[in-house]
Structure 1
Amino acid sequence: MNEADESVTGSGDQSGTNAFLEKLAQLLTAKNQVVPTPQFEGSAAPITIKLDGTNFGLWSQVVEMFVLSKDKLGHLNGDRSQPPGGNPAHHKWKIDDSIVKGWIINSLAPNLIGNFIRFSTAKEVWDAIATTFFDGNDASQVYDLKKRVSRLKQSGGQVEEYYNSLQALWREIDFRRPNPMKCKEDIEKYNQVVQEDRVYTFLDGLNDRLDGVRADVLQMTPLPTVEQAYARVRREDVRQSVMLGKGQIVPDSMAMISKISAPHEVKNSSSYNLNSSTKFSSNGNRNQTQPAMGIGCTHCGNPKHTKDTCFKLHGYPEWWKELKKKRQESEKARAAVAVSENYCVFPSGESDVKTEPAGYSDEGDNWAWY
């Protein structure tokens, strides 16, 4: 074989090797390539709130927030319109719209599903629900909401329940009467006025035993938001709960009952020990005894109560003023009886009529009915 033949043979072997390597590379690439599988979101929406016909405002906000997080809000507001039938994107749009429609249907109460499932698109379902359950121009609904706000009071209940009820009504009002201002400064001023009105409303509905913290909030400059006012009131409510009721709030009515009924309960027993320092006899009179050793207030020096229950240190409860008023009335009644005895028709010392003191009236013992 001459040099020319060897050259041809060498070049042929080289080209064959290159072709083989190229083919092998293609096969390996095809083997390792991962073909993406289309992923479809299920129609079972994790929306826990159900539309029952009375909570459209809250329900619609939750649904909008969820659909927006999935980048499909255009199927509700019409921004993402349906492509023509021959458009390649039509099939994908139908799938997405069906998913959004399923989210809405699954968030309805069972008795409402049949009224809206027949609509063909998610927007049609959304518009039909809004038409059925919401009318932003319905003055009677706004009037009813504002009336419920004005009449809502704590009425001896928990502060949290009272505040949450107010917030629910205010959110519904805001949804039906949004801020009408356009300028940024006007928007802030409008929101500030609304916040001040709501602080006044919240404070007005509190129990009388929270009158002290109510006055403190009103004296703050600038006036706090309703959230800040609630936080301040709640701290005071918890403090009273710990100091006066060992973890339970003493209702206003129960405080009044206890301080009025205590003298009668004492009267029916031969003796009653109060803080191990005072006893009452069977006729209701108080017998002073020496206070027990080690018991007394280190703040005010009164041996008849401890520092933990000292009203001068922790503040007087709201029923204290009314108790003092009752005591004054009792004193006046006893004075009237004393005057009438001067005109008694019985000779002195012969009358069988006896007058018992009307309850316990020691002005200095502020712990008496506590």
Structure 2
Amino acid sequence: MEDLTSRMTQVLTQNQTQTHTTNNDSSAAAQIGIKLDGSNYPLWSQIVEMYISGKDKLGYINGDLPQPLSTDPGFRKWRTENAIVKGWLINSMDTSLIGNFIRFPTAKMVWDSIAITYFDGSDTSQVYDLKRQVTKVKQAGGSIEKYYNDLQRLWREIDFRHPNPMVCPIDIQKYNSIIQEDRVYVFLDGLDDRLDKIRSDVLQLQPFPTVEQAYAHVRREDIRQAVMITGAENNSGAVMASKGVNIGKQPL
């Protein structure tokens, strides 16, 4: 599966390095930096939602700003801003797709229709495949950073496709805590054997850490071990060099 996070980072980096000659909303679609092509909905939706939120117009796609009555004093302003947001959505998709969504009167209807058409998050086979990939990820002698980032990338995909089903705030928190605990176990289990000691230490922490906190603890130990190994190698090299000099000075 293509790395959604890395592609998202590339798009954001491209946006940040572009030179914008205007701040006018009419040029906003060109600044989004990605076109919906039917296969990239997860990436597209996150980038576009982030952009619209940054323009303080998220309410036009999430339902927080519903269409007022035509007699309402704020109707003209709403109609104008709705058209702007709808324009961002339409102009950020491939031209072959525009005809499927251009006739919807509101930005929210466009947004919802795109989601219904392209969001495959309910596909349990994809969630299964992602979880299967998680079980196969191990440090295997590689860097702790790459190992952790590989896990996080898969977990973010799982969260996107299989979100927290709870409604009550307390239940949401409990569910998230259970997920975090399971992920700490997975992260620790895949570490190299040389990190056995810190693995045991993390399991004894109270309160039980999040996976981010567990990673921070393990990373510090990983850095400490690297420093110790480098220091030992330098000392060994210095000793060998010193012996070589002394041998060279022995009388004939």
TM-score (norm 2): 0.67
**Structure with the greater relative contact order (CA < 8 A, sep ≥ 6): 1 or 2?**
2
The corresponding residue for 2:152 is 167
> Aligned partners of 1:136 and 1:87: how far apart in 2?
38
The corresponding residue for 1:81 is 67
The answer to whether the aligner puts 1:156 opposite 2:141 as a matched pair is yes
The answer to whether the aligner puts 1:114 opposite 2:78 as a matched pair is no
5+ residue gaps, structure 2, are 1-22, 232-236, 245-252
Q: Is the 8 A contact 1:57 1:172 kept in 2?
A: no
Q: Secondary structure at the match of 2:122?
A: coil
Residue of structure 1 aligned with 2:240, choices 248, 266, 276: 276
Which AA in structure 2 matches 1:222?
P
- Deviations 1:107-150, CA, capped at 9 Å, x for gaps: 45xxx342136513433432232123213432112212211222
> Aligned partners of 2:186 and 2:95: how far apart in 1?
39
Pairing of 1:1-370 with structure 2 (within 5 A): 41-45=25-29, 46-47=31-32, 51=36, 56-78=41-63, 79-81=65-67, 84=70, 92-108=77-93, 112-116=94-98, 119-120=102-103, 121-245=106-230, 275-276=239-240, 292=243
- Deviations 1:240-293, CA, capped at 9 Å, x for gaps: 3333257xxxxxxxxxxxxxxxxxxxxxxxxxx99539xxxxxxxxxxxxx949
**In terms of mean alpha carbon deviation, does 41-50 or 156-165 score higher?**
41-50
Q: Greater share of helix residues, 1 or 2?
A: 2
The corresponding residue for 2:8 is none
Q: Is the 8 A contact 1:116 1:129 kept in 2?
A: no
Shift of 1:187: 2.5
Which AA in structure 2 matches 1:197?
D
Q: Which has the higher Rg, Structure 1 or Structure 2?
A: 1
> Aligned partners of 1:238 and 1:227: how far apart in 2?
16
Q: How many residues are aligned here?
A: 214
> Aligned partners of 1:230 and 1:75: how far apart in 2?
39
Q: Secondary structure at the match of 2:224?
A: helix
When residues 88 and 229 of structure 1 are mapped into structure 2, their CA distance, relative to the original with a 3 A threshold, is closer
Shift of 1:201: 0.9
Which AA in structure 2 matches 1:200?
Y
Q: Is the 8 A contact 1:58 1:172 kept in 2?
A: no
When residues 44 and 168 of structure 1 are mapped into structure 2, their CA distance, relative to the original with a 3 A threshold, is same
Q: Is the 8 A contact 1:116 1:125 kept in 2?
A: no
Percent identity, aligned pairs only?
58
5+ residue gaps, structure 1, are 1-38, 247-272, 278-290, 294-370
Q: Is the 8 A contact 1:50 1:59 kept in 2?
A: yes
Shift of 1:197: 0.2
> Aligned partners of 1:195 and 1:203: how far apart in 2?
12
> Aligned partners of 1:49 and 1:163: how far apart in 2?
28
Q: Is the 8 A contact 1:76 1:123 kept in 2?
A: yes
Q: Is the 8 A contact 2:122 2:162 kept in 1?
A: no
Shift of 1:89: 5.9
Q: Is the 8 A contact 1:43 1:100 kept in 2?
A: no
When residues 188 and 70 of structure 1 are mapped into structure 2, their CA distance, relative to the original with a 3 A threshold, is same
When residues 178 and 40 of structure 1 are mapped into structure 2, their CA distance, relative to the original with a 3 A threshold, is same
When residues 206 and 51 of structure 1 are mapped into structure 2, their CA distance, relative to the original with a 3 A threshold, is farther
Shift of 1:199: 0.3
- Deviations 1:38-68, CA, capped at 9 Å, x for gaps: x962242544566565653454344334323
> Aligned partners of 1:76 and 1:197: how far apart in 2?
34
**In terms of mean alpha carbon deviation, does 163-172 or 41-50 score higher?**
41-50
TM-score (norm 1): 0.48
> Aligned partners of 2:60 and 2:69: how far apart in 1?
12
